Amino acid sequence: MLEGALDSRPVSTASELPSLRLDATREEALDRAAAIVSEAWRGFDRARPGQPSVDDRLRELLRSTLPAEGSSALGALEDAARILDTSLAQPRPRFFAFVGSSGLEIGVLGDLLASCFDVNLALWAGAASAVEEQAVRWVSEFIGFPATAGAFTSGGTISNVTALAAARERALPGSRRCGMTGQAGALYCSREAHYSVVRAAELLGIGSELVRALPQDAGRRVVPEEVAQAIDRDVAAGVAPIAVVATAGTTLTGAVDPIDALADVCAERGTWLHVDGAYGVAAATTPSAGSLFAGLERADSVTLDAHKWLFLPKACGVVLVRRREDLHGALAHEEDYVPHDRPDHHMVDITLEYSRPFRALKLWLAFRAHGADAIRDAIERNLRQARLLHDEVAACDDFELLCGEPPLSVVPFRHVPEGVSDVDGHNLRLVAALQETGDVWVAPARVDGVVCLRPCVVNYRTTDDDVRALVTLARDAGRTLAEAAP
């Protein structure tokens, strides 16, 4: 029973009540909020035609000045519903841009509960701390990585910075306190690694110029021999190898670096192997893509964004490490306001953040409510839909695929109609036209220097018909633009 349910203390007088009270009852406010969520969930069940635009009333509201006095709470909720309805909602089944979130329903409820109780995971927080530890174990088991510790973060960037901070301290002991002190260190990754690797190098004092962006093979995977040679050259020049970053699902094309071969390179040289699996590593559990992740269990650290392909609402990143002491050595500290009365239970000793929300709850609820098998099946279905998209595009003579069969769920392609000389400009206009109508939502990208559409399928609500609709709508819009071109 919740604390206070049997509270027998006298009711406070009006003068003692908190000043920040709603003008509606709690029940009325909750009912209205629940109705908005319920209506949204029904809307997400199928694609809707078009994306509503901001009308004059809403535009006027968004230009208003800071309110000095409050107004109707229910009215404010109605305005919030209007704002959200005219915003880009990634849970919609035809949102193919970026690597989107699905807003899994049990995860939404988890966020509601976590926000209500406002647990702070900086220090020991009772059962919530145990749930985070259990959720870390569950994620590790799900993807097949033997983590002894980990933490929930805001996403892949913070997860990568955290893991690479541990790698830097192991490669250059004392660097967290004394800086690089004249000792150069380098990171090694593919040319299509996520920019967060460069950002981590900049923030950690390594320097972006010492990120070795190395050649790829025909499958757009970093070449292990190139990594080995780059490390050996740096060692000969007095540059310390800090970490090799294997990308398990590049943002641009979904390529998975050869983790096992990179683990061999790292083992021979005593170099940290970090796997940036923010987008793709969840697919390590699937029958059709699992083999791409061979060697994952040999890494020193892995990152995963549960708000990508575990379908949860943002933000829900996870960083996992093979040895807890690596994170502890890079981040632990002693302060008078953080007494170490509970050894190994203060998350500030292994995370970058102090105040941290209870992000683990929504993942814990997702595994409880759906089970690992159902989540795995949903990922597998997205993989199959990406192959369907590839085949549908290949069957159209005025489309061009930029890559072969998708390793994961990104399928870059472009429209190449006869008679159009500026194909890049045409495809930028095509993306703009599709976004203007809003029937499907895609984003542009550059692959090998050419502009294309870059759809990514990571939504458990997406159907095969939605995938086919993307091809049909893109082709129709492209032909209309080509016919109208001078």
- What per-residue confidence (pLDDT) applies to 1? 47
Which amino acid type is present at position 431?
V
Question: Are 302 and 144 in contact, with CB atoms under 8 Å apart?
Answer: no
Q: What is the mean pLDDT of residues 167-172?
A: 98
pLDDT given at position 9:
54
Contacts 24+ apart (CB under 8 A), 26-34: 28/74, 29/73, 29/74, 29/77, 32/74, 32/77, 32/78, 33/77
Bigger pLDDT: 486 vs 223: 223
Over range 440-456, report the average pLDDT.
Answer: 97
- The model's pTM is 0.95
pLDDT-above-90 percentage for the chain: 91
- Report the pLDDT value the prediction gives residue 13, as an integer from 0 to 100: 58
Task: Kindly indicate the confidence band of residue 15, based on its pLDDT and cuts at 50, 70 and 90.
Answer: low
pLDDT band for position 17 (50/70/90)?
low
In order of their start, the domains of the chain are 108-367 (3.40.640.10)
- Checking if the pLDDT of 5 tops 70, the result is no
Dump pLDDT digits (tens) for 264-311.
999 999 999 999 999 999 999 999 999 999 999 999 999 999 999 999
Tell me, what's the pLDDT at 343? 66
What's the rounded mean pLDDT across residues 181-188? 94
Question: What confidence score (pLDDT) does residue 337 get?
Answer: 85
Work out the mean pLDDT of the chain and round it to a whole number: 95
Pairwise CA distance, residues 294 & 259, whole Å: 6
- Residue 486: the pLDDT is 77
Range 396-415 average pLDDT: 98
- Distance, C-alpha 401 to centroid of its chain: 25
Residues whose CB is less than 8 angstroms from the CB of residue 184 and which lie 6 or more positions away in sequence, other chains included: 207, 210, 238, 239, 240
For residue 181, the model assigns a pLDDT of: 86
Summarize the confidence of residues 214-243 as an average pLDDT.
Answer: 98
User: Quick check: 14 pLDDT over 90?
Assistant: no
